[in-house]
Chains A and B, each alone.
Chain A
Amino acid sequence: MAVITKDLWAKKGIIAFPDGVEVPFWGFAAAAGGNPQLPGPVIIARVGDVIKITLRNELSDFVSLIFPGQDYIPTPVKENGVFTSYNTHASPGGVVTYTFTATRPGVFLYESGASPERQVPMGLYGAMVIYPPGVDHPSDPDYHTAYGNNTASLYDVDKVLILSEVDSGFNLAVDSGSSFNMLDFEPDYWLINGRSYPFTVLPDDVDILVSQPLGSKVNAAPGKRILIRCLNAGSQNHSFRLEGITARVVAVDSWPLAAGTGSIDATYLKNTITIASGESYDLLFISGPEGQYYLHDRDHHHLCNAGQYPGGMATRLDVMQADPVDVPVSPSQLACSVICRNGIRLNWRDRAINEEGCVVERKTGVEDFEILAFLTAPGLTEYTDRNVLPNTSYTYRVRAYNSKGFSGYSNRCSVTTHDLIAGPANLACIAVTANQIDLAWTNNAYNANGYIIERRTAETERYLVIAEVDGDMTAYSDDTVEANTRYYYRVQAYNSTESSCYSNECGVTTPAIPPGAPEHLQSVYISSDLVILKWDFNYTNKDEFIIERKSGAAEYNEIGSVDKYNFYYFDFQVAGNTIYYYRVRAYSKTGGYSGYSNEIMVNTPA
């Protein structure tokens, strides 16, 4: 049995999120002068080992550690009768050592026990993985098991996933010593092993994440036994989904559900599991066919970074025949060109066959390069930067990554946006008639050779080019439109070298064309209690006919309607010896009312 000695320095650091936000945090460093880590360094031991942790406090708060699940009795601390810590603490600048024996296997938290409502969310937590003694010896029955022989925990690949949250406003306030009302704690970033997606799928120890060294992507060949060890260090509950996978729950809070020979097998199957704050679940499954499988919080609002999807608590299992043995070959032939006033298109050659994605970096002038985008799919050869300013020089470089690390950088390309052609603006459109829409816009370009006019209808997203006009034009009439239809337009300027961005979009609905009026209204039968009317109609756009009648000097009243297939009307509501006048008009839902037919007079017999 070994003695595992671990020195931890509690100190301040900076963590980074994929949207470019950087936030102060408190964490544990593994070396003097080292960067603190989120989560703290993983402590690995075997059952029977003595674990001796020395905590050196470089923060200005008391700090202590607690070890839930261990055979270890903490010593709560009171000062002047007031409870201050769950366990003996180190004062600022001080040192405390905790020693205990690992008595059972599992995946456990270690976390702050002093002001834990602040210190744990600030980052003072980590994981401790305790294996059965024979885990490394191929001849031992415990070989490659999480809980020993006959515990249904034999694995080929194991991965610890530590779930947590960050409220960036909380971190800023606490780190700067401002007061923070814990009732206002509302996380805006969700983490696995200290990173938010897509940082989670980057390899371990990448140079851009100095305080977040742990990736969480799992690589495995098909047919392997995968053990996912989920540990919730946060203060929310998370319903963790293994997309496309049903796993066997083999342990809860590191108590195996099949606890060895003679015990019942109480393991069970789940595809999603709600993991309460502080709980752990060991989930075992056999990897399926090659492909990508997302492992993520089923509370989809935790798949966001500061409200923006995708992000947050998601990582991936990549099932592939062979793990990459090397970092990818660097991309080459990077070229960049301005495609519009606010867009720069990058193209490069992808020379790698084993990359998982790439990182695009950008700088202006003499600044340092900054990360512009994380592309999380393999095989990409282009990216459009839509966040550029006019009259600015940009330089780009690209590098690929896989689970072995980053490739070298591509060549650099530079482009300046000063020569951009300005786009047309203030596009307005009005429907002059049912079959004509007039467009007008403002010309911002001194160097436009012409304008391209594009149109779409409300039913389609895709614009189609309908016309090109000369560069000195600022108006256009579209006479190819149909009645009662909504159209959208946009206009783009171009010259011999480039195209502008599009103008604003304008939308307008053409007026409806009313149906034509019925003709040749006549009475074909007249008696003292029935009048039958008949008319002709030569148009298609109608839904019904409306019949109106008056008697003497009264106003016309609507007396009935018939649908569009009838050209007769039977008026049973007549009296004998009376003079009636009739007229008819058509109605369509899209075109409204037609004009009236001729008027006829009918004199019923007595």
Chain B
Amino acid sequence: MPTIDLWAVDGYISTPDGKSIYIWGFTDKAGGSAQLPGPTIIIKRQDPPARTMVTVNLTNSLPEPVSILFPGQSEVRVNGNPVQPQYQNGSLISLTNHCLPGETITYTFYAENSGTFLYESGTNPHKQVPMGLYGAIIVRPQDYMPDHTGYKTAYGTGTGTEFDREYLLVVGEIDPDLHQAVELGKPYDTRVYKPRYWTMNGRCANDTMLPDNVDHLPNQPHGAMIMLEPGEKVLIRYAGAGVENHPLHPHGNHTRLVGMDGRLLQNRTLSNTTDLSYKRFTVLTGAGQTYDQIYTWTGLGFEPVTNQIPTVIPNLRNMAIGHTGMTMWSGSPYLGVKGELPSGMVSYNEVGEYHFMLHSHAEPEITNWGAFPGGLMTMIAVYPNGTLERHHGMLPVESHGL
């Protein structure tokens, strides 16, 4: 049965405009720094009738009580008893059993449903969740076999949720004033909450497009760039960990929403199955909710000989991100073709792949303290067939072993 040790600790994250922001968060390494978001917990369910009991040991190294809520999981318990809200001097402090500074608490729950879930603090949540005490849980179906056709699915074989690659995007917000107030031990009035940074996997654009585990972002280990080949089924898991709602959309194609809050969008009776999945362009990623989607890029007409596109190429200066003279563009409108670029312009395009945005359509959220580009934005990179290495978009079967 999976056992995960988590520590609630503090630490610092970096933003692309050079800020260092104090956070509270979780780590799964003894003595480690807070990570944003907390370590992703990936669990594969047992074959029924065995139940998959998950144990989470939380050790609190912060100066106030901390707890973890597991929304969407079954029979969450502490010491064998169902979790209950906690009160101090008659006043609510935690929505679930908490652990005092320096102590350890053990939660157990049964992973009865596949899908994407959040875990998050239930203690002083107006402060602790925005400070970073949140993370995601992925539960894999019991028949998940990534190397077998038809068995690499989000919700089990036969549920129409097969995928080739998968990406998890945990979104949140940061009001630096809250973080500074907590760091200095000053009071903070939630009425003045005003985020200036928006994060995807703990990073603000353009850091979202960097690979996982880059040296200069030790506490933000996860990138958010979505890389795929035409025709592939890509499972994109949105998780809204902040306190606000964010309308996210990828350019290029709609997504098919197949599950929400770790529940498959399908109703099944003995005699028939109703597929409730549906296509969306923009998905309002609500606070505390998750959205599993299948995305397939089906662009037409990228063949330069048989299907020439009468493309008016934009002014080359507009093809760069910002005014840096740097571009992701290949120099050609055809996938897999690299064209000429003006001398002096640096292209990071590898093999003529396409890059386009996945972002919050609440546009002020794609800035870092008001400056574009930033915030809740990443790129989708479409690579010519056969050119994208297999390891991109491959999350492990399980994260924390048995």
Contacts and interface: CB of A to CB of B under 8 A. Distances in A.
Interface of A: 186, 188, 197-198, 237, 239, 241, 243-244, 246, 264-274, 288-289, 291-292, 294, 296, 298-301, 303-304, 306-307, 309-310, 314, 357-358, 373-377, 380, 383-384, 460-461
B129 interface: yes
B311 interface: no
A319 B63 CA distance: 33
B183 interface: no
B92 A304 contact: no
Nearest to B188: A307
B260 interface: yes
A306 B191 CA distance: 7
A304 B126 contact: yes
Interface stretch (B39-47, B82-90, B149-157, B354-362): B82-90
A373 B71 contact: no
Contacts of B83: 244
A383 B90 contact: yes
B91 interface: yes
A188 B189 CA distance: 11
A271 B90 contact: no
B288 A239 contact: yes
B353 to A, nearest CB: 35
B90 A239 contact: no
A186 B289 contact: no
B91 A376 contact: yes
Q: Does more than half of chain B's interface fall in helix, strand or loop, or is it mixed?
A: loop
Given A272-B286, A291-B82, A310-B91, A246 B267 contact: no
A272 B127 contact: no
B244 interface: yes
B124 interface: yes
A375 B288 contact: no
A375 B244 contact: no
Contact of B71 (A271, A314, A380): A271
Contact of A299 (B63, B276, B287): B287
Interface of B: 63, 69, 71-72, 76, 82-85, 87, 89-93, 95-96, 101-102, 122, 124-127, 129-130, 189-191, 193, 240, 243-245, 260-261, 263, 265, 267, 269, 274, 276, 284, 286-289
B65 to A, nearest CB: 11
B88 to A, nearest CB: 9
A248 B287 CA distance: 18
Nearest to A460: B102
B90 A380 contact: yes
B261 to A, nearest CB: 5
The 4 tightest CB contacts between A and B, nearest first, are A375-B90, A298-B288, A274-B286, A269-B263
A274 B63 contact: no
13 contacts: A239-B289, A243-B71, A264-B267, A265-B267, A265-B269, A266-B276, A268-B260, A274-B284, A292-B85, A298-B286, A301-B126, A309-B126, A310-B92
Given A270-B289, A274-B287, A310-B92, A265 B274 contact: yes
Nearest to A266: B276
Contacts of B244: 299
A269 B261 contact: yes
A310 B86 CA distance: 12
A300 B130 contact: yes
A438 B275 CA distance: 75
B91 A291 contact: no
B267 A267 contact: yes
A273 B267 contact: no
Contact of A301 (B243, B245, B260, B274): B243
B279 to A, nearest CB: 15
